Chain A
Amino acid sequence: MTNSPLATYQPDQRALALIGGEATDANLRRYLHGIPGIDAVGLEARAADLGTRSIKTSSKRWAIDTIIGLIDLTTLEGADTPGKVRSLVAKALVPDPGDPGTPRVAAVCVYGDMVGSAVSALGSAHAAGGTDGVNVAAVATAFPSGRASLAIKLADVREAVAAGADEIDMVIDRGAFLAGRFGQVYDEIVAVKEACRRADGSMAHLKVILETGELNTYDNVRRASWLAILAGGDFIKTSTGKVAPAATLPVTLSMLEVVRDWHRLTGVRIGVKPAGGIRTSKDAIKYLVTVAETVGEEWLSPRLFRFGASSLLNDVLLQRQKMTTGHYSGPDYVTID
């Protein structure tokens, strides 16, 4: 299916060709409601089934290191300070001081005004969109609620990009989505994507947060995923972490299915980021299994998959130490950030 002419289109043309006209509410509704529905019981059963895979010995060792390299180590508190961000960056660079062979995380994820602190704390270890080092992701667009004017959201994005953010985690307007104003959601994503453009013409990576806990149904999650991808998102992300439920395995599975179908349709690879609520290695391994068996192993790369998490890293490190030494240590044998 990837030999479809859609593969050769520019992204914006591709979306319009698929929708069959301009990105109006009516056209988008027709398209999004034409996508096959999701049976919630069946989806959850499939996710539970994937969760029973038994990942042992060498597979587990590989999984543990892979998980670390996929983490967006996050601090998103009202109480964040440059000092807290420096500490987070230090943890991102050296997750386990007792084992220099421990991989680094993919990125640190902070509020827009902390981007400068993160970039300077990283110094030469700032990957700046590459794979060598750690990237800086910034939440933007009036995160987490998204309740601000478009001008403010775009200014939020531009400031973060100008301060050196490599990745922008935007939120969609859930109110507009639930009210059926799909065109508005689409246009905002397009505008935010444009605001990710730097002076030199390069683009910060755009992750689109759906806030699945507020969308409530899997059908909504699927439609919002298609909408975000049509509008040009590089990644689709489950949650802000500020709304419960945040990431769940079935929600992530449903988003991975969209990404798989988009790849079949256009040949383009979109990333997925479950965020919030993933705290243990055991859970994270279930996500790796789900990714590998749904879209393929190729997606187990920071370019295409991330975990948005803060406490996950230390649990993974405890497991890693256990696999090395053969015995469990305790919370005081891993560092806090």
Chain B
Amino acid sequence: MKFLDYAPAPESQALLNLKSDYGLFINGAFTAGRGTPFHTINPATEQQIAMIATANETDVDAAVSAARHAYDGVWSRLSGSDRGKYLFRIARLVQERARELAVAETLDNGKPIKETRDVDIPLVAAWFFYYAGWADKLDHAGVGPNPASLGVAAQVIPWNFPLMMLAWKIAPALAAGNTVVLKPAETTSLTALLFAEILQQADLPAGVVNIITGDGSTGATLVNHPGVNKVAFTGSTSVGRAIARSIAGTDKKLSLELGGKGANIVFDDAPIDQAVEGIVRGIFFNQGHVCCAGSRLLVQESIHDDVIDRLKRRMQTLRLGDPLDKNTDIGAINSAEQLARIRELSDLGEQEGAERWSADCEIPANGFWFAPTIFTNVSTSHRIARDEIFGPVLSVLTFRTPAEAVAKANNTPYGLSAGIWSDKGSRILAVADKLRAGVVWANTFNQFDPSSPFGGYKESGYGREGGRHGLAAYLKPAVRSGSRSIIAADHRTPSVTKKSASAGKKSVSAEKAAK
């Protein structure tokens, strides 16, 4: 037998207790949606998993008013340490149910179980633990003493890291004292709904987090709702632009985390075997469905052939197939639409004259799949060097000097991530300093940590998630001297948090009045 044809090692689905229909999670309870329900499928088999409700305008309105009610009545009155207790409880419940969440995420998204088990779900718990610790330390968040929460946050998240993006959004919002209405992506609502069950288990007060499902129009209704104080969106640049346009002129605060075309720069003195691993992790992690993917490999011309040779050998060991198998490295593409886009751009790459190479791997009969692919001989003017493909497709370009590497890396409308591979520390610092990217990794790639801020330059968006900076997106400074009388009038409430929260609300109306 061939040892490398590892026997199947499927993760058990026995832990999972899915319902056949899921409603909307509004005011602490599941309710039927008024829109037309849709089914969510397993992209690896195209089989239906469950029916998901669609929230129409009335549902969105109900969710926003539940959030407002919870904000005014409960959440903004709680002390920071009490909010922290809820967040710690949620984090522990995520850990307790980690296996179940990992299996559900893999079923619904198509990503390999080893990633949901070792990356997504542990990071979800880490995010809640991290921001739980912040909840009673907001004075140190960098927005001055007694910062105020914003109110109701409308959060719209993508399908590539469904539960992780939920955690990135909900954890800082709640820690800062806001309430939330969150809409997961249409194709990956399942784990958000399981998370709603966790919120029930955690006894989170009703309405503090509301989860509504549906397609883009539900999301648009949510972000345009007048009762919303803050909009946070992660997704494509075109939708982000539309949101920015639609809320312009309102007093909603906005943070956008959009697309990217990250450069992974490999210098000739790089630790070569680890660089090859980093290239693989940079573009084939999560099937390349990563906004900060290292989708452009910039390799120094003198080592180009060696690096590509090693990369191809390494890619032959990638295992594509059943995402629930513990040995699978490359899972399914999330949707037929996304697969079509990857195919279209890849075909275009070939037409433009780049050289295409894919690892040999058997493509399953059903489901959406794309073999790990690299393009060599790519020029900066090729579409595959400029457009975000959002799939397991790498464009390889070369450079001769550090200056050329920096110029090529920055020559993109995006600016989310970059990587540098070199054994020379001074070069890493010098190059990192010149890269216009929100995250620069040195001798590693696609590493995430709740304490590290994440976000982009240019068309990759604005605002930061994670770390102290991520809190600031959900806070505003306390009302200063001119409004002293307002604070003084509020002396009946002893709690400091209450004082700052109400001061915050007053400041909203004060700003409105000023306009």
Whether chains A and B associate is yes
Cβ B7 vs Cβ A59 within 8 A: yes
Given A42-B274, A45-B277, A293-B317, A58 and B7 contact (CB-CB distance below 8 Å):
yes
Given A54-B9, A54-B327, A46 and B274 contact (CB-CB distance below 8 Å):
yes
CA distance A57 to B114 in the complex (A): 19
For the complex formed, measure the closest distance between the CB of A286 and the CB atoms of chain B, giving whole angstroms: 13
Contacts of A1 in B (CB 8 A): 309
Choose one: B3, B9, B114, B277; the contact of A62 (CB below 8 Å): B3
**Chain A residue at minimum C-beta to C-beta distance from B442:** A39
Among listed B151-159, B264-272, B365-373, interface-contacting one: B264-272
For the complex formed, measure the closest distance between the CB of A226 and the CB atoms of chain B, giving whole angstroms: 14
Choose one: B5, B8, B273; the contact of A43 (CB below 8 Å): B273
Q: Which of A46, A56, A58, A59 counts the most chain B CB atoms within 10 A?
A: A59
Question: By DSSP majority rule, is chain B's interface helix, strand, loop, or mixed?
Answer: loop
Asked whether any CB of chain A lies closer than 8 Å to the CB of B326, the reply is yes
Cβ A58 vs Cβ B274 within 8 A: no
Asked whether any CB of chain B lies closer than 8 Å to the CB of A125, the reply is no
Cβ B3 vs Cβ A59 within 8 A: yes
Asked whether any CB of chain B lies closer than 8 Å to the CB of A292, the reply is yes
- Say which size band chain B's interface belongs to: 20 to 34
Asked whether any CB of chain B lies closer than 8 Å to the CB of A36, the reply is yes
Contacts of A39 in B (CB 8 A): 271, 274, 423, 443
For the complex formed, measure the closest distance between the CB of A27 and the CB atoms of chain B, giving whole angstroms: 21
Cβ A57 vs Cβ B327 within 8 A: no
Choose one: A36, A57, A62, A63; the contact of B272 (CB below 8 Å): A36
Q: Mark A59-85, 1 if CB is under 8 A from B, else 0.
A: 110110010000000000000000000
Contacts of A43 in B (CB 8 A): 273-274
For the complex formed, measure the closest distance between the CB of B75 and the CB atoms of chain A, giving whole angstroms: 40
For the complex formed, measure the closest distance between the CB of A1 and the CB atoms of chain B, giving whole angstroms: 8
Given A39-B271, A53-B327, A257-B273, A59 and B6 contact (CB-CB distance below 8 Å):
yes
Cβ B274 vs Cβ A54 within 8 A: no
CA distance A62 to B423 in the complex (A): 40
Asked whether any CB of chain B lies closer than 8 Å to the CB of A288, the reply is yes
Cβ A52 vs Cβ B278 within 8 A: no
Contacts of B443 in A (CB 8 A): 39, 41-42
CA distance A84 to B118 in the complex (A): 46
CA distance A26 to B2 in the complex (A): 45
Asked whether any CB of chain A lies closer than 8 Å to the CB of B81, the reply is no
Cβ A56 vs Cβ B3 within 8 A: no
Asked whether any CB of chain B lies closer than 8 Å to the CB of A317, the reply is no
For the complex formed, measure the closest distance between the CB of B333 and the CB atoms of chain A, giving whole angstroms: 22
Asked whether any CB of chain B lies closer than 8 Å to the CB of A55, the reply is yes
Given A42-B271, A43-B274, A288 and B3 contact (CB-CB distance below 8 Å):
yes
CA distance A46 to B276 in the complex (A): 11
Asked whether any CB of chain A lies closer than 8 Å to the CB of B444, the reply is yes
Choose one: A46, A54, A300; the contact of B3 (CB below 8 Å): A300
Within residues 280 to 298 of chain A, which ones have a CB less than 8 A from any CB in chain B? 288, 292-293, 297
Cβ B4 vs Cβ A53 within 8 A: no
Contacts of A52 in B (CB 8 A): 114, 118, 326
Asked whether any CB of chain A lies closer than 8 Å to the CB of B1, the reply is yes
Cβ A297 vs Cβ B7 within 8 A: no
Cβ B3 vs Cβ A53 within 8 A: no
Cβ B7 vs Cβ A56 within 8 A: yes
Q: Mark B124-138, 1 if CB is under 8 A from A, else 0.
A: 000000000000000
For the complex formed, measure the closest distance between the CB of B424 and the CB atoms of chain A, giving whole angstroms: 10
CA distance A257 to B272 in the complex (A): 11
CA distance A60 to B327 in the complex (A): 14
Cβ A54 vs Cβ B326 within 8 A: yes
Contacts of A56 in B (CB 8 A): 6-9
Asked whether any CB of chain B lies closer than 8 Å to the CB of A38, the reply is yes
**Chain B residue at minimum C-beta to C-beta distance from A36:** B272
Asked whether any CB of chain B lies closer than 8 Å to the CB of A37, the reply is yes
Contacts of B275 in A (CB 8 A): 42
Cβ A55 vs Cβ B274 within 8 A: no
Contacts of A37 in B (CB 8 A): 269, 271, 423
Given A54-B9, A54-B327, A56-B9, A293 and B271 contact (CB-CB distance below 8 Å):
no
Given A36-B270, A37-B271, A42-B271, A54 and B277 contact (CB-CB distance below 8 Å):
no
CA distance A54 to B8 in the complex (A): 9
Within residues 11 to 68 of chain A, which ones have a CB less than 8 A from any CB in chain B? 36-39, 41-43, 45-46, 52-60, 62-63, 66
**Chain B residue at minimum C-beta to C-beta distance from A44:** B274
CA distance A82 to B269 in the complex (A): 53
Cβ B4 vs Cβ A293 within 8 A: yes
Within residues 209 to 268 of chain B, which ones have a CB less than 8 A from any CB in chain A? none
Given A36-B269, A52-B114, A42 and B444 contact (CB-CB distance below 8 Å):
yes
CA distance A288 to B2 in the complex (A): 12
Cβ A38 vs Cβ B271 within 8 A: yes
Contacts of B2 in A (CB 8 A): 297
Cβ B6 vs Cβ A41 within 8 A: no
**Chain A residue at minimum C-beta to C-beta distance from B9:** A54
Q: Mark B1-41, 1 if CB is under 8 A from A, else 0.
A: 11111111100000000000000000000000000000000
Given A42-B277, A52-B118, A58-B1, A36 and B271 contact (CB-CB distance below 8 Å):
yes
Top 3 nearest A-B pairs (CB, nearest first) are A42-B274, A54-B9, A54-B326
Given A37-B423, A43-B273, 4 new contacts (CB under 8 A)? A42-B273, A58-B7, A297-B2, A300-B3
Binding site for B on A (CB under 8 A): 1, 36-39, 41-43, 45-46, 52-60, 62-63, 66, 257, 288, 292-293, 297, 300
21 A–B contact pairs at CB < 8 A? Answer: A36-B269, A42-B274, A42-B277, A42-B278, A42-B443, A46-B273, A54-B6, A54-B9, A55-B9, A56-B6, A56-B8, A56-B9, A57-B7, A58-B1, A62-B1, A63-B3, A288-B3, A292-B4, A293-B317, A297-B3, A300-B3
